Structure 1
Amino acid sequence: MTIWNPQLSGQGPLYRQLAQAIGQAVEQGELQPGQRLPTHRALADRLGVTVGTITRAYSEAEHQGWVTARVGAGTYVREETGEPALNWHIRQPDPSRIELWQNLPILQDRENAFRDAMEQLLATPGRINALMEYSSVNGELSQRETVCHWLSQYGFSTAQPERLFFSFGAQNGLLLSLMACGAVGETILCEGLTYPGLSTLSHSLRIQLKGLTMDEEGLLPQALEKACQTGNYRTLYLTPTIQNPTTATMSLSRREEILALCERYQLTVIEDDVHGLLPEIRPPALVELAPERVIHLGSFAKNTSAGLRLGYMLVPAHLHAAMSIAVRGSSWMITPLMIELTCQWLLSGQADRMLLQQRKTLRERGALLRHHLGHYQVQYQEGGMHAWLPLPAHWRSQAFVQATNQHGVGVAGAELFAAAHYPSPQAVRISISHPADNISLDKALRVLRQLLDSEPTPQWVI
């Protein structure tokens, strides 16, 4: 434990003075990455303050990114990799590696589709000029009608123009939803293993995550009810279809049970459904079962083009004003030209063809996955971009990730997905959509199989 005597400024509340002192000590090298801070009691006695003041100061320092708390172990100066989810990023192509790291859409040639859409827009005099101006906060009515009609063909009866808002992809949609729900600075509920983008946003928005226990279908209703009985929460984020990272898909009965609890405890649900259109058969989305309880997040990134950065949200009526304020406050509007380009693809059938191609390639890759790793406990749902691999007893998650990296293959360790202090299992996520082609995926899966069949190399520390 570090012997450290903070120098307080004497200005402002004591807890903030202490948090600032921690930050200054880290910047000046007085406190080193990975070093443990004094216990709450020890520092309180040394400074002559209450333990509550130290607790609040450490919490403030954690919000500022200087330290990280480890349950049962203490508070430590944050290392660069101390909060794995904060290092989540899109890895750029590297010819020396095969990435199974991120859920990127299958590569497709979109040049002709883009050219055809632009020619269609240019054929209407003045249309491009109109699309280069400011638009309304939720896009043109004709654009929303086009998207809603397309979604209705995939089972979304709740997709109505008055409920639809656009976003710069689902990540931006999540940010807007958290803002509209008034979740900034609060604690929200989520699955214990969750999308790293939520952890990144929670850090920036000073949101605390409370990860809840899961089973093979995802979030456990008992865990949700227990949390609601012991705390005051307003927002629940979850992915009921092809959950990220575990691939769990909730049954209809589980969805109804979860929504009944949300109604009882007045929770607003943020439903992340970015993978929802990829499986050909799936239960109804949560928004179909409780349209006034659920903000539904969807995106064209996974089934058409990630570079469009276009997502959509189906929003309950009572949150329309708050969502409009969130959009205006963050970007004024979503780029009209990108919305219109997507609408052209929807009208021409190009979006359907792209979605069908995604499904076809993912079926092929799912077969490759089962061929190589089928005798392990790999978890995969048809149409999914990723699989979840619990590791054999002789492997730990970080050691396995290091081993795959040494062999030129990238996978995502379970610790990237653990919400707050939720225990991280010994498992990895395998993104079968990331490699450029099936041949690369086949090669990478062979590497994983060889490693799984072998023992990790001992790491001696003297």
Structure 2
Amino acid sequence: MTENWKPDRTLLSVPIYKSLADQIADAILDGRVADRTRMTPQRQLAEELKISVQTVSRAYEELSRRNLLSGEAGRGTFVKRPQADRGPPFTLERVPDLIDLSILKPVCEELHMERMATALSRLAAGVPLRVVHAFRPESATSRYRAAALTWLKTCGVETSPYNVCLTNGATPALAVALLTVAPPGSLVATEVFGHHSLKPLASYMGIGIVGLDVDDEGLVPDGLERACVDGKLRALFMQPTVINPVSTMLSEDRRRRIAAIVEKHDLLVIENDPLGPLISDRPPPFFAYAPTRTFYVTSLTKIVMPGLRIGYLVAPQRFVATATNRHLVTNWMATPLLEELATGWIEDGTALSLVDWQRQALRSRHRIFQSKLGKVPHSTHPQSLHAWIPTPEGFTDAGFAAHARSLGVAVATASSFLANDRLPYPAIRVSLGSVSEEALGLGLDTIASVLQAPPEAPLPA
């Protein structure tokens, strides 16, 4: 293994393969075995420890499952020390005078304050008992579920009220879905540029992530097919409709092809679709092509109002009980006050009117973007909340982001969304709805100036 460290046979215990794997894992994580160290061949280590080759093989497999080893054809097995968790792509703290284009938010103006104030005033005049006394999850009344079905229908999803789980936004719904489809030790595939919280969430659950190729349209079906060859893949996590970092939208033909692959290889699917009805030219959601295999997630947060953290998880019939149990132990129930607000807005049309308003507001934001950066290589959609910009040759995405921040503008880096360990190319994601139109124009001017500058960040003063 190394001259300074080898596994100690006297410390092995039953089951031996796991005990051996734990010893090696501890040595990797505390630095006694360096990253990229070539592991001792299995037969040699078995002889040294006086155990079977099969036991060593199982230990190495366990370490690979923990993402601590990687095999390279013709070369052997190497240590793969885990990288520190990538932080979120956005800036967590509020920084005075910083134009924050890193966080993905819808456009939010005085109109939204007025709508919320009106809704709260109406509730204050007659607070329903179910909001005050709600304590058990079954207090999600039939009225709330009926509103959820109405909203899901605008997203293109037809389902039963018993298949819907009401959640505090999309993030808890995605966590519940992942807990349901992928037990510890399994593998889940996703786009190489995917959801920023998926990889750390999966690592906490002991789930491996496989990044799949994407092109100008999104997920490449042939890449998914290749990933299924060894039969180890359990599920596919996908963002097929504009919300993905590259802002692509899968065609109906591609959705059908992926659905066929999913069926052929007996995969489950998590579809994250928080933009729902905002995207007017969208095909039917992937759920429509594989309803018995797809966990569909949407919410009101990204398209109605940021503070309205209510989401809906639709589970296939055979997984309803499992998903419900996972939601109980992780979230218990959605917040009744927010359920009441969301339901009222769905019923009286406020929610859809705010979606229409958002669509118009984004049209103006995209005009600003095109006037400032339309000539540089980028990908976006007319109703997307963001744009994706590959950085010029010589820049790293982190270097570009640091340079922009030193000039007062925050952007998200491609590395924050990376499912694999290797970045296909450096890029940045620019949010179009997180600041005022004036600040957006100034921020995009700064980004334009960095794109034209040599790839060298200024020295600190």
Give the Cα–Cα distance (whole angstroms) in 1 for the partners of residues 392 and 28 of structure 2.
40
1:161 aligns with 2:161: yes
Aligned-residue offset at 1:234: 2.6
Distance 2:283 2:212 in 1: 22
Residue 259 of structure 1 and its aligned partner are, at CA, apart by 1.0
- What's the TM-score, normalizing by structure 2? 0.86
Does the 8 Å contact 1:68/1:76 carry over to 2? yes
Provide the rounded CA distance (Å) in 2 between the counterparts of 1:138 and 1:373. 50
Structure 2 residue 438 is matched with structure 1 residue 439: yes
Q: Which amino acid aligns with 1:107?
A: C
Question: Pairwise mapping of residues 203-222 of structure 1 onto structure 2 (< 5 A)?
Answer: 203-222=203-222
Paired position in structure 1 for 2:453: 454
Q: Is 1:391 the equivalent of 2:391?
A: yes
Identify if the C-alpha distance between structure 1 residues 246 and 293 changes in structure 2 by more than 3 Å, giving closer, same or farther: same
How many angstroms apart in 2 are the aligned matches of 1:90 and 1:69? 33
Aligned partners of 1:43, 1:399: CA distance in 2, in Å? Answer: 41
Please give the alpha-carbon distance, in whole angstroms, between the structure 1 residues aligned to 2:117 and 2:3: 65
Q: CA deviation at 1:317?
A: 1.1
Farther off after superposition, 260-269 or 111-120? 111-120
**Amino acid of the structure 2 residue aligned with 1:115:** A
Q: Which residue of structure 1 lines up, in the alignment, with residue 181 of structure 2?
A: 181
Q: What is the one-letter code of the residue matched to 2:446?
A: V
Amino acid aligned to 1:217: E
Identity, % of aligned positions: 25
Q: Which amino acid aligns with 1:332?
A: W
Residues 333 and 452 (structure 1 numbering): CA distance in 2 closer, same or farther, change over 3 Å? same
SS in 2 for 1:446: helix
Task: Give the structure 2 partner of residue 17 of structure 1.
Answer: 23
Amino acid across the alignment from 2:115? A
SS, match of residue 399 in structure 1: helix
Paired position in structure 2 for 1:253: 253
Amino acid at match of 1:319: F
Q: How does 1:65-214 map to 2 (within 5 A)?
A: 75=79, 82-84=84-86, 86-88=87-89, 91-109=92-110, 110-124=112-126, 127-128=128-129, 130-137=131-138, 139-152=140-153, 154=154, 156-214=156-214
Number of equivalent positions: 443
Deviation at 1:275, TM superposition (A): 2.1
1:231 aligns with 231
Q: Distance in 2 between matches of 1:155 and 1:171?
A: 18
Distance (whole Å) between structure 2 residues aligned to residue 11 and residue 245 of structure 1: 46
* Contact residue 137 and residue 324 of structure 1 kept, 8 A: no
Structure 1 runs not aligned, ≥5 long:
none
- Letter aligned with residue 107 of structure 2: I
Q: Distance in 2 between matches of 1:2 and 1:95?
A: 50
In the superposition, the TM-score normalised over structure 1's length comes to 0.86
User: Comparing 8-17 with 226-235, which one deviates more in the overlay?
Assistant: 8-17
In the TM superposition, what whole-angstrom CA distance separates every residue of 1:307-361 from its partner, at most 9, and x where no partner exists?
3321111221111111111112222222222211111122232212322232122
Q: Distance in 2 between matches of 1:52 and 1:46?
A: 10
User: 2:403 aligned with 1:403, yes or no?
Assistant: yes
Given the superposition, is the C-alpha separation of residues 52 and 411 from structure 1 closer, same or farther in structure 2, using an over 3 Å criterion? farther
Task: Report the CA distance shift for 1:320/1:414 in structure 2 as closer, same or farther (over 3 A).
Answer: same
> Residues 102 and 411 of structure 2 are in contact (CA less than 8 Å); yes or no, is this contact kept in structure 1?
yes
Query: 1:252 and 1:404 mapped to 2: Cα distance?
Result: 38
The farther-off stretch of 385-394 and 87-96 is 87-96
Q: 1: CA distance between counterparts of 2:208 and 2:437?
A: 40
Bigger shift: residues 38-47 or 284-293: 38-47
- On the 8 A contact 2:379/2:389 being kept in 1, the answer is yes
Number of the residue aligned with 1:412: 412
In structure 2, give the amino acid aligned to 1:172: P
The answer to whether the Cα contact below 8 Å between 1:113 and 1:345 also exists between their aligned partners in 2 is no
8 A contact 2:39–2:79 mirrored in 1: no
Q: Is the 8 A contact 2:89 2:417 kept in 1?
A: no
Counterpart residue type for residue 407 of structure 2: H
- Match of 1:218, as an amino acid? G
1:368-414, Cα deviation, whole Å (9 max, x unpaired)? 11111111111110110111112222433232122112212111221
Residues 24-67 of structure 1 deviation map (CA, whole Å, 9 limit, x = unaligned): x45xxx78xxx63632138997993577477457547x66xxx7
1:229–1:54 distance in 2 versus 1, CA, 3 Å: closer
Alignment partners' CA distance in 1, 2:253 and 2:139 = 34
Q: 2:16 maps to what in 1? A: none
Alpha carbon RMSD of aligned pairs, Å? 3.1
Q: Name the counterpart of 1:333.
A: 333
Q: Which amino acid aligns with 1:144?
A: R
Counterpart of 2:256, as a letter, is E
